């Protein structure tokens, strides 16, 4: 990269292509962080490292920052642990594309969703795309895991209530994507909830191949 915008051939590329390049960099530049220790919207004292690409020059910083901050992935797993992958989790109000990855075979992951919507839902008010992905259930026969294991295709009412609350708070929501090992009854109820909204977003079922392309894994 040349030191100035005029000298760099990168800026001779159309802005649309440059933005696509930035989007392809997102999975490599975003870090996964444990929000239970990090995220507090009322305290801006937490120091979060800035991706080095944004420090190359002011022009790239101005172009790429809104793109990097607009994508976030929330991971909800065992023991109600939840983490987020983003450029800076302190800027959740700027997120427009949210991915939620749930462990479908554990109750705590759904408790984690309740906690996430309670603590962060108020900051996610301008979402355009929400992608809900259920990972493949696993079978474990040990006594400890059997407490949390749920068979596939089991509908979680608490899960739907939390998602309903999050989706209903975003008036500009355009698309709700669903993929993975979701429950059919849960999906039908989700569609019914969407129909009750004044502005009905599209609901799309993604194939496994489409989901893998979309997920930041």
| pLDDT digit string, tens, across residues 32-73 | 877 766 566 555 555 667 788 888 888 888 999 999 899 998
Neighbours of 100 (CB within 10 A): 21
- Give the helix/strand (H/E) hosting 27: helix 15-29
How far is 27 from 49, CA to CA, in rounded Å? 15
Would you place residue 152 in the very low, low, confident or very high pLDDT band (cuts 50, 70, 90)? Answer: very low
Q: Does position 156 have pLDDT exceeding 90, yes or no? A: no
Give the pair of three-digit tokens for residue 49.
């490292």
What is the three-class DSSP state of 134? Answer: strand
| pTM of structure | 0.79
Q: φ, ψ for residue 77 (rounded to 5)?
A: -130, -145
Concatenating the DSSP letter of every residue in 100-114 gives EEE-TTBHHHHHHHH
Concatenating the DSSP letter of every residue in 35-94 gives HHHH--TT------PPPGGGGS-HHHHHHHHHHHHTEEEEEE-GGG-EEEEES-GGGGGG
How many Cα atoms occupy the beta-carbon half-sphere of 164 within 13 Å? 17
Give the pair of three-digit tokens for residue 132.
């809900």
Q: φ, ψ for residue 134 (rounded to 5)?
A: -100, 125
For the chain, what is the mean pLDDT? 77
Q: Does position 148 have pLDDT exceeding 90, yes or no? A: no
Would you place residue 153 in the very low, low, confident or very high pLDDT band (cuts 50, 70, 90)? Answer: very low
Q: Does position 17 have pLDDT exceeding 90, yes or no? A: yes
Q: Which candidate, 179, 172, 167, places its Cα nearest to that of 209?
A: 179
| pLDDT number for residue 146 | 46
Neighbours of 15 (CB within 10 A): 9
Would you place residue 151 in the very low, low, confident or very high pLDDT band (cuts 50, 70, 90)? Answer: very low
- Token look-up 């100035």 returns 4
| pLDDT number for residue 142 | 53
How far is 81 from 100, CA to CA, in rounded Å? 13
The region of weakest confidence among 21-25, 157-161, 206-210 is: 157-161
Would you place residue 147 in the very low, low, confident or very high pLDDT band (cuts 50, 70, 90)? Answer: very low
Task: Count the helix, strand and coil residues of the chain and give each as a percent rounded to the nearest 5.
Answer: 45, 20, 35
Q: Does position 96 have pLDDT exceeding 90, yes or no? A: yes
CA 129 to chain centre: 9
């Amino acid at each position: 990269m040349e030191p100035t915008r005029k000298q760099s051939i990168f800026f001779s590329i159309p802005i649309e292509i440059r933005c696509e390049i930035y989007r392809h960099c997102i999975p490599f530049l975003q870090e996964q962080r444990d929000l239970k220790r990090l995220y507090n919207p009322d305290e801006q004292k937490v120091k979060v490292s800035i991706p080095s690409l944004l420090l190359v020059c002011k022009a790239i910083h101005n172009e790429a920052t809104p793109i990097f901050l607009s994508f976030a992935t929330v991971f909800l797993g065992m023991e109600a642990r939840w983490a987020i992958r983003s450029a800076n989790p302190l800027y959740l109000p700027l997120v427009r594309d949210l991915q939620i990855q749930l462990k479908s075979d554990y109750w705590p992951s759904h408790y984690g969703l309740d906690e996430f919507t309670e603590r962060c839902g108020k900051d996610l008010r301008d979402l355009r795309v929400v992608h809900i992905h259920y990972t493949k259930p696993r079978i474990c026969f040990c006594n400890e895991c059997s407490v949390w294991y749920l068979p596939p295709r089991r509908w979680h009412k608490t899960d739907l209530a939390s998602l309903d609350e999050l989706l209903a708070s975003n008036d500009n929501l355009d698309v709700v994507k669903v993929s993975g090992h979701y429950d059919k009854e849960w999906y039908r109820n989700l569609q019914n909830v969407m129909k009750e909204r004044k502005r009905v977003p599209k609901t799309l079922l993604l194939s496994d191949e489409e989901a893998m392309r979309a997920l930041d894994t």
